[in-house]
Structure 1
Amino acid sequence: MKKRLALFLSILMLLMSIFMVGCNSKESKTNQREIVVTDLLGREVKIKENVKRVVAIGPGALRLYTYVAGKDKIVGIEEFEKKNAKGRPYIIANKELLELPTVGLGGPNNPPDAEKILSVKPDVIFTTYAKDKMEADNLQSKIGIPVVAISYGKISLFDNAVNESLKLIGKVVNKEERAKEVVDFIEGVKKDLEKRTRDLKDENKPSVYIGALGMKGMHGIESTQGKYSLFTVLNIKNVADETGKTGSVMIDKEKLVEWNPNIIFIDLGGLEIVKQDYSKNSKFYDSLKAFKEGNVYSQLPYNFYSTNIDTALVDAYFIGKTVYPERFNDINIKEKADEIYKFFVGKELFDKMKEDFGELGKLQIK
């Protein structure tokens, strides 16, 4: 009887141990295997807690990811990212990305390639392609992998959508501290630029114009922006604000003659177009005050597959120092630029950018 009782108790203890281990294991898996995040489209997405393999697709998605996590965990990139690293510091600083498998064409008007994405077995996909919840849900349903929508918002630079996207990436790949550092850096630059210029009275501000801005390709001096973010943060009197437009706008040259700004910036991406136009139309350019007085300056192009935030911040300091030299007399552009590039992508790339596009300074168009 005692032997039977002992055997029964032993079996009971064994079953209880198995049951407890099973419960703990199940609970552990539940706690560790998934987290729930809300993406930039307001979708709740369940993701593995320990993400090890990542794909970032769409304009600027890979860039935002590298700002937070470098090349760590990326297992494939779009063909568009491989075509030309020029002007994209995140690729220049992480050239190993170019050796990774291709996960689709990328670029304008090319939807995600589900088959190629699946071939690299990512745990999560970050995307800027999805314009609404349905589009993101459809991709997630089709591919069977969590899809997290991120965004540059409407203005890219100093847009809260960028900050939220960076923090979301940090949460998903366990880089929250770094994500916070990046957001704080961007906001810190914004505050510094605003602080230096916010007390200037309008009557003491020169009128300024930016031309040859990229907009789905390169353009000449007619391509500009209303409410240009770099001018806005610096409290610059942007003559193109008169158009009432926010963002890209093509103006008539006659309007530029009418505005006749004190200072003109030319984006180096469109400089050759401006030079070619000058050779045919020199009277127009020579009639402008900024050209007559030698107040035409360069700007590094920063829109390549969406916004290179690091380069845009470099431009902001150069523009500020050019328009308001007394407010930026403590700023050495090369030192500031290399500080910015090193923070975002880990390398001092100002010399490389100048090599690829030209000097930041006065321009000789003739």
Structure 2
Amino acid sequence: MKKKICFLMIFVLMMSLLSACGVNNSSQTTKSSASTPQKVVVTDAIGRKVEVPIPAKKIVSVNESATRLISYLDGLDKVVGIETLSKFSDAYKPYLLAHPELKNLPQVGKGNSLNMEEIIKLKPDVIFYVHYGDMDPDKLQTQTHIPVVALKYGEKCAFSEDVYKSLQIVGRIIGKEKRAQEVVDYLKRCEQDLNNRTKNISEDKKPKVYVCGIGFYGVHGIESTQGKYRPLNLINAKNVADETGKTGSIIIDKEKLLSWDPDIIFIDEFGLSLVKDDYKKNSQFYQSIKAFKKGQVYTQLPYVCYDINIENAIADAYWAGKVIFPERFKDINPEQKADDIYKFFLGKPLYKDMKKSLSGFKKLDLGS
């Protein structure tokens, strides 16, 4: 009898242990399933339906514009391949200045000269690119058998629904939805703050402003500007180029500056060297313009270099506000503000590093 009871106890104990093991195995299986990416259909920025694994663990970015957006979302640890980088100084692209390690990644070509074999070899979960109409995403997807997701910057501006949507698309795919919303909210707060500071200034109290040297498929000098230039629009400034009725990049006949005769000129660092060279050859022309005669010429951080440096666009807007409407921006230290912006977008202050290669925010005397 005692033997039977003992056997029964041993049997019950063994069954309990087996049952416990079964529960643990079930728990592990559930946990493993939860971490496995699920395929979800998303609508990209140009309206395509794309099935992608979420969260994507490996990314290839086939243009610098897309890499920049990914950097704002703290997603660069997922990037395994990038576009072949341009040879411009890192200072023209803050995201690259903040993350020089990107240059050690495999570079997969550029534009219509992508290295398909290299992309396939990297085995990314998704390919991101910013759409300009010069790349066929469906063709790229067919050639690589990898989901291709298109993003957009909109009409060449830092504050647009296209930018917000693109950030949110990337955030959803790489598991950074919270960060994407933080970035969108930050952009909207900056836009509101800049507008609130200047919205009630009467037109007759606004000086005429011109911005030049802005990148546009390469480097240009004083003739390169933008209509509806966003950093000036944000502070409700009077941009003389708006008289053209055009939006985005414009190459003007520089003689037009004589009739516009702006009170203040900002020279983008991207084209500054060309303006300096031209000034040496044509100083009499430049000194015929009010801004040059009165010493109201200023440098600004590079707005465009392979699309818009959004962090620089915001910093430039605060700097322009400080110069044009000093009473409305008397609480702003432009250099400190730039560093605050860099820290939010890229995780570290960069203004001093920028100034090692560039002029930064300063009044410029080309005649000295």
Q: Specify if TM > 0.5.
A: yes
Does 2:126 match 1:124?
yes
Does 2:67 match 1:66?
no
Aligned equivalent of 2:117: 115
Shift of 1:302: 2.5
**Percentage identity across aligned positions?**
48
Does 2:95 match 1:93?
no
Amino acid at match of 1:284: F
CA distance in 2, matches of 1:33, 1:42: 21
Residues 82 and 46 of structure 1, relative CA distance in 2, 3 Å threshold: farther
Aligned equivalent of 1:105: 109
> What do residues 30-78 of structure 1 show as CA deviations (whole Å, max 9, x unaligned)?
x952122110111111111232111111240111011113422111122
CA distance in 1, matches of 2:254, 2:81: 45
> Mind listing any 5+ residue stretches in structure 2 that lack a counterpart?
1-25
Any runs of at least 4 consecutive aligned residues in structure 1 with deviations exceeding 4 A, and if so which?
A: 81-84
Which residues in structure 2 correspond to 1:170-209 (within 5 Å)?
170-209=171-210
> What do residues 275-325 of structure 1 show as CA deviations (whole Å, max 9, x unaligned)?
221122111111111111111111111211111111111111100110000
Aligned equivalent of 1:36: 41
CA distance in 2, matches of 1:178, 1:214: 29
Report if the CA contact (8 A) 1:58-1:129 is conserved: no
SS at match of 1:72: helix
Residues 59 and 93 of structure 1, relative CA distance in 2, 3 Å threshold: closer
Report if the CA contact (8 A) 1:124-1:146 is conserved: yes
Aligned equivalent of 1:322: 323
Choose from 78, 81, 89 the match for 1:76: 81
SS at match of 2:77: coil
SS at match of 1:270: helix
CA distance in 2, matches of 1:163, 1:147: 19
CA distance in 1, matches of 2:58, 2:88: 23
Report if the CA contact (8 A) 1:87-1:356 is conserved: no
TM-score, with length taken from structure 1: 0.87
38-47 vs 69-78, greater mean Cα deviation: 69-78
CA distance in 1, matches of 2:360, 2:80: 36
Q: How many residues align?
A: 339
Shift of 1:272: 1.9
Report if the CA contact (8 A) 2:63-2:82 is conserved: no
Residues 84 and 261 of structure 1, relative CA distance in 2, 3 Å threshold: closer
Amino acid at match of 2:48: R
CA distance in 1, matches of 2:116, 2:250: 35
